[in-house]
């Protein structure tokens, strides 16, 4: 447009670009995962086997799906603390629909998903339209959804689901657990959504600079509502898988799972303050958590210590990230 200095546009830098895998993966997290696996292979003779690998995938699936949910919300500089409670609520609603109301099993799935999405929608409306901080809104939902699950069930698990639902949690076509398959399939779908579509791009942009998003015509409120609804929907799905695996709708399912899910996303390189996030990164982060838990189990470390380990890893991951960025290489 302006005729001046000849355009000195250098050839695009390609090199070791992780763009195709989501751009935001921290190489360190992959290294940590590999080192962790190496260490555990040496420490335990049971670690390195196909059966144990499938176990890890199965055990990571529910947390991992919550991790994908938190990846989108964290991308937008939000946070969803209600994931674990919404998981419990979704599972209970699904179980009630088939077990108490006697509806056919597909209704259990649809109602469980709808219950999760509904919680997310309420979160989104309160964050985007009422302008209440996400931390407060979802902390409130953490209490409300858990309470609702307890009220609906009288505090008791609802045992016994129809065979097709149980298969979702316990089936093993070709020896591979169904939740593990769904987990990896969801990783692909949500990765696609975050890295290739406008919805994903805009989630990152509103987390990066909300004013820039608004100035360029992005519908910030509408997008936020969509993000929290997606988060709730995924939590509902995780709840159904959880219920299917234990063959019951347990109102106490998923307590404090949001902690692990957020940790997985941060470990995977998502920026807690928004603008940078990757589903593949979260997948690696969730696997780190899963491998860690599996290893501690194999080494017969008490689950109380495991909780301490998860909490420590979360703080360590954020601290490392901040340290990295203060050295100017975000």
Q: Does 217 bind other proteins (CB under 8 A)?
A: yes
What's the DSSP call for residue 275? S
Instruction: Figure out which of the listed residues 50, 51, 163, 215 binds other proteins, where binding follows CB under 8 A.
Output: 215
Q: Which stretch binds other proteins (CB under 8 A): 61-69, 122-130, 133-141, 196-204?
A: 196-204
Residue 308's SS3 state is: helix
- Shortest Cβ distance from residue 68 to other proteins (Å)? 18
Q: Does 21 bind other proteins (CB under 8 A)?
A: no
Q: Does 7 bind other proteins (CB under 8 A)?
A: yes
- Shortest Cβ distance from residue 55 to other proteins (Å)? 34
Distance CA 159, CA 207 (A): 42
- Shortest Cβ distance from residue 57 to other proteins (Å)? 27
Instruction: Figure out which of the listed residues 218, 298, 309, 318 binds other proteins, where binding follows CB under 8 A.
Output: 218
Question: Do the Cβ atoms of 258 and 82 come closer than 8 Å?
Answer: yes
Instruction: Figure out which of the listed residues 174, 211, 323, 326 binds other proteins, where binding follows CB under 8 A.
Output: 211
Question: Do the Cβ atoms of 97 and 103 come closer than 8 Å?
Answer: yes
Q: Does 3 bind other proteins (CB under 8 A)?
A: yes
- Shortest Cβ distance from residue 269 to other proteins (Å)? 12
Distance CA 70, CA 67 (A): 5
Q: Which of 200, 119, 106 is nearest to 162 (CA)?
A: 106
Number of residues that bind other proteins (CB under 8 A): 35
Question: Do the Cβ atoms of 127 and 134 come closer than 8 Å?
Answer: yes
Q: Does 16 bind other proteins (CB under 8 A)?
A: no
Instruction: Figure out which of the listed residues 219, 247, 255, 296 binds other proteins, where binding follows CB under 8 A.
Output: 219
Sign, CA dihedral 40-45-46-49, equals positive
Distance CA 89, CA 127 (A): 21
- Closest to other proteins by CB, 220 vs 296, is 220
Q: Which stretch binds other proteins (CB under 8 A): 107-115, 198-206, 290-298, 304-312?
A: 198-206
DSSP H or E segment with residue 159: strand 158-159
- Closest to other proteins by CB, 67 vs 200, is 200
Q: Does 205 bind other proteins (CB under 8 A)?
A: yes
Tokens representing 123 are: 């979160």
Q: Does 222 bind other proteins (CB under 8 A)?
A: no
Instruction: Figure out which of the listed residues 38, 172, 198, 305 binds other proteins, where binding follows CB under 8 A.
Output: 198
Helices (H), the chain: 27-43, 50-75, 83-99, 105-128, 134-153, 163-170, 178-196, 198-208, 210-215, 220-246, 257-267, 279-298, 303-326
- Shortest Cβ distance from residue 72 to other proteins (Å)? 16
Instruction: Figure out which of the listed residues 43, 160, 214, 316 binds other proteins, where binding follows CB under 8 A.
Output: 214
Q: Does 27 bind other proteins (CB under 8 A)?
A: no
Q: Which of 83, 48, 67 is nearest to 291 (CA)?
A: 48
What is the full DSSP assignment across 203-252?
HHHHHH-HHHHHHTT--HHHHHHHHHHHHHHHHHHHHHHHHHHHTEE-TT
Q: Does 209 bind other proteins (CB under 8 A)?
A: yes
Q: Does 326 bind other proteins (CB under 8 A)?
A: no
Binding site for other proteins (CB under 8 A): 1-13, 192, 196-198, 201, 204-205, 208-209, 211-219, 271, 275-276, 330
């Amino acid at each position: 447009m302006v005729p001046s200095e000849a355009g000195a546009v250098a050839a695009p830098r390609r090199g070791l670009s992780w763009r195709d895998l989501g751009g935001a993966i921290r190489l360190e997290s992959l290294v940590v995962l590999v080192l962790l696996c190496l260490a555990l292979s040496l420490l335990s003779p049971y670690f390195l086997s196909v059966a144990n690998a499938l176990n890890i995938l199965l055990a990571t699936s529910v947390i991992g799906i919550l991790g994908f949910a938190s990846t989108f919300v964290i991308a937008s500089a939000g946070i969803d603390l209600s994931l674990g409670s919404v998981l419990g609520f979704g599972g209970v609603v699904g179980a009630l629909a088939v077990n108490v109301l006697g509806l056919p099993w597909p209704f259990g799935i649809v109602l469980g998903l709808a219950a999760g999405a509904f919680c997310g929608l309420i979160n989104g409306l309160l964050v985007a339209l009422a302008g209440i901080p996400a931390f407060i809104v979802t902390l409130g939902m953490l209490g409300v959804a858990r309470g609702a699950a307890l009220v609906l069930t009288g505090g008791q698990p609802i045992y016994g689901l129809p065979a097709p639902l149980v298969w979702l949690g316990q089936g093993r076509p070709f020896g591979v657990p169904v939740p593990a398959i769904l987990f990896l399939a969801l990783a692909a779908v949500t990765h696609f959504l975050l890295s290739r579509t406008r919805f994903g791009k805009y989630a990152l942009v509103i987390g990066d600079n909300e004013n820039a998003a608004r100035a360029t015509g992005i519908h910030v409120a509408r997008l936020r509502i969509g993000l929290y609804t997606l988060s709730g929907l995924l939590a509902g799905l995780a709840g159904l898988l959880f219920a299917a695996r234990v063959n019951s709708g347990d109102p106490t399912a998923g307590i404090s799972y949001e902690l692990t899910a957020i940790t997985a996303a941060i470990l995977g390189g998502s920026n807690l303050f928004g603008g940078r996030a990757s589903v593949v990164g979260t997948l690696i982060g969730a696997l780190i958590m899963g491998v860690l838990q599996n290893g501690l189990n194999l080494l017969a470390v008490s689950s109380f210590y495991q909780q301490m380990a998860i909490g420590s890893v979360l703080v360590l991951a954020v601290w490392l990230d901040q340290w990295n960025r203060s050295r100017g290489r975000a």
